[in-house]
Amino acid sequence: MENLKTRSVTSRRRFLSVLAAGVALGAVVSTGVSAPALAAVSEAGTDLSGWTNVVGDGVFAASGQAPVTSADIAVENRGADSRLRANVQNRGIMAHVISFKRVTDVSMMKTVHQAGFSFQMPYVPSTAGGPRNAQTVEGGLFVWDGINTRVDHGTAFQWVLNPWQSNFGQIRVWTSANGGSWAAAGYLKPDTALHNVSMMVDPVNRKVKLVIDGVDMNAPYSVTPKSGWGTDVSARLQIETISLYPGATATWGPQQELLARNWSWTRQ
């Protein structure tokens, strides 16, 4: 699973703090008027402009290759979509690019999050080789509780796209097992079609929902401990892809490309 290395990103929007909400609620209670329901906050975009891009932990460098760095990944925001690229220099490595949007506020653990996006492979991975080949495509919706539980709450999927693996095309979902691990949940034929994912995370009732192309993946509510993470409470929507594992002695490796578009995120 991903290891988001940068924790200093400031959200473009700031939301009411629990203190302010408590003051407002106290004023309402004192007058005997019922507290109003929290208004939904919705955001959306056609590409991932304004998101943060980092190297994930799904990386490998063959013998003699320098470690994977930010120079090995790229995200191109093109208006109608974004192109996520891993192993852009075609080195003997496996590179992992994560693009994510974060909202930091203590209210995120008391909020129902509904989010989604569309994704598309511009080619079909193949054992015939070539300049492009993939390891995985991934996406998730999480809430990090750095104050109380010190775990990451949420859901995620992984589409297995290494054409040499026996589970090529498998959809896996993130679970709490063994401190966080993937479990088989379905199958999506590798193709160049546009696919749609919808995710819901409800930390209060400890419920999640993960739907891909209208099919419920029956994902479990996952809680994942993280070491070295901050004391903030923050929610994040993330899209990821990993380039093909090149082999232990590779001096060259293919690039992976993923197209992402039309994301949305509603919090209430």
Q: How far is CA 258 from the centre of its chain?
A: 13
Answer yes or no: is 1 within a domain: no
Confirm whether 35 is domain-assigned. no
Q: Which of the four pLDDT bands, split at 50, 70 and 90, describes residue 38?
A: low
Query: Strands (DSSP E) along the chain, which ranges?
Result: 41-45, 52-55, 60-61, 73-77, 82-86, 93-94, 96-104, 113-120, 134-145, 151-160, 170-175, 181-187, 194-202, 207-212, 215-216, 222-225, 233-243, 256-267
Residue 264 backbone dihedrals phi, psi, to 5 degrees = -150, 155
Would you say residue 129 lies in a domain? yes
The CATH number of residue 192's host domain is 2.60.120
In a domain, 54, yes or no: yes
Q: Three-state DSSP class for 29?
A: helix
pLDDT of 8? 33
pLDDT score, position 27:
30
Output DSSP code: residue 27.
Answer: H
Domain extent, residue 127, equals: 41-267
- Domain annotation covers residue 6: no
Q: pLDDT (tens digit, 9 = 90+) per residue, 172-225?
A: 999 999 999 999 999 999 999 999 999 999 999 999 999 999 999 999 999 999
Residue 11 lies in a domain: no
Whether 26 is in a domain gets the answer no
- Average of per-residue pLDDT across 61-67: 98
Question: Rounded mean pLDDT of the chain?
Answer: 89
Position with higher pLDDT, 61 vs 2: 61
Within a domain: residue 2? Answer: no
Number of structural domains found in the chain: 1
CA atoms within 13 A on the CB side of 81: 15
pLDDT of 131-173, one tens digit each? 999 999 999 999 999 999 999 999 999 999 999 999 999 999 9
Q: Cα(136)–Cα(239) distance, rounded to whole angstroms?
A: 11
